[in-house]
Copies of this chain bind each other. A is one copy, B any other.
Amino acid sequence: MSGAELNGKPITLADLRDGIDAIDDHIHDLLMQRAELVEKVGEVKGASAAQAVYYRPEREAQIHRRIEARHHGPLPIEAVHRIYREIISASLNMEKQLTVAYLGPEATFTHQAAIKQFGSSFHMYAQPTIDAVFHEVEVGRVNFGVAPVENSNEGAVTHTLDRFVDSPLIVCGEILLPVQHNLLSRRDSLSDVKRIYGHRRALADCHQWLDAHLPHVERVESESTAAAALKARDEEGAAAIAGEYAADSMSLNLLAEHIEDRAGQENRFLVVGRIPPKPSGDDKTSIMVSFQDHPGFLHKVLGLFAERGINLTRIESRPSQTRTWDYLFFIDCEGHQDDPRVAEALQALADLPGVTEKILGSYPKRAL
């Protein structure tokens, strides 16, 4: 067996470690040079703006995108993003401790999402409700809030969007986490599973896998994923469809991972704050729009975007809560509200008779 060679001579472990040490020293020097430049950014902003804005979601998105575009080599890109996330997180919190409120409890997907977005130098506070998350940001006790908006794993119907009706806050970011369904049980083997509990949506997401692997096992709908996991913990022979965190916290065995039928599904979270992000080059805009009942009106609304070549990425209708918002829609489109085409479409929409429009925010688009 021949070892690695360099210029025809065998490389020793000591050579390699010296090489790694030299690189580490170099990275360390660069981190400090970077921190000094970040300090100067603070000074320049202090001289040019009444309120220094340290965290700029669009700038952070650009840094990650640039690194991803030039990435090659043996480290996975996710690991590289994690390293830069910590570098950026440390820089942002150098002069002032920034804070985040998220929908708790800890160690749930929303907590994971907050850490994915902000890194570990931010202080994070779990909140019991989405309302409390908004409130903490509104009264200025924290800089940002994180709340789920589409969540297939936890199966919760959340009302994050409704909270914008009466809130002065804006959307300043989105966070995506891949959906992962697993089969969990106290037993060790698939053949021991007598009954499967899962949220309706989770059972639907995995039905092909269940048909193939456990065709004759009874499936029972649970109110939530947490309720399904409790059944798996407490009922002999029961299994649950849940995220990995439930395996940890309830000491269940992971009988099968990634049993979802379609890959690439995502849970989505919103970052709420008070300061609007500037264009990052690849953005989304979220709006809320209401109008009186009128046949064909929604079609007309959507036409304003279509005729300007603006893609809609999401549209959701919500029951109205007040008379002002008789028919309430949440619409996400591609582009930033400062882009002329988007601005024009938003203006045309606001000018329609009987329409009330509220722009919730423009923010960097995320890949998974």
Q: A residues bordering B, Cβ < 8 Å?
A: 1-4, 11-13, 16-17, 19-21, 23-28, 30-41, 43-48, 59, 63, 66-67, 70-76, 79-80, 82-84, 86-87, 89-91, 93-94, 104-107, 111, 120-121, 124-128, 132, 245, 247-249, 251
Contacts and interface: CB of A to CB of B under 8 A. Distances in A.
B127 A47 contact: no
Given A36-B73, A41-B13, A66-B21, A251 B48 contact: no
24 contacts: A1-B46, A2-B47, A3-B43, A4-B40, A4-B43, A4-B47, A17-B41, A20-B37, A21-B66, A26-B30, A27-B31, A28-B70, A30-B30, A31-B80, A35-B75, A75-B90, A79-B93, A80-B90, A83-B86, A104-B251, A105-B249, A107-B111, A126-B249, A128-B251
Contact of A3 (B13, B16, B44, B63): B44
Contacts of A2: 47
The prevalent SS among residues of A at the interface is helix
B23 A33 contact: yes
Contacts of A32: 72-75
Contacts of A126: 248-249, 251
A3 B39 CA distance: 12
A86 B87 CA distance: 10
Contacts of A21: 63, 66
Nearest to A111: B107
Contacts of A13: 41, 44-45, 48
Contact of A47 (B1, B106, B128): B1
Contacts of A248: 104-106, 124-126
Contacts of A30: 23, 26-27, 30
Contacts of A132: 251
Nearest to A105: B249
Contacts of A91: 75
Contacts of A86: 79, 82-83, 86
A44 B90 contact: no
Given A47-B1, A90-B83, A38 B67 contact: no
Contacts of A94: 74-76, 79
Given A2-B47, A27-B27, A17 B251 contact: no
B70 A35 contact: no
A28 B106 contact: no
A69 to B, nearest CB: 11
A362 B113 CA distance: 38
B11 A120 contact: no
A74 B35 contact: yes
Contact of A23 (B28, B37, B82, B89): B37
A200 to B, nearest CB: 26
Contacts of A125: 247-248
A124 B80 CA distance: 20
A24 B138 CA distance: 34
A64 B95 CA distance: 24
A99 to B, nearest CB: 12
Contacts of A47: 1-4
A327 to B, nearest CB: 35
Contacts of A93: 79
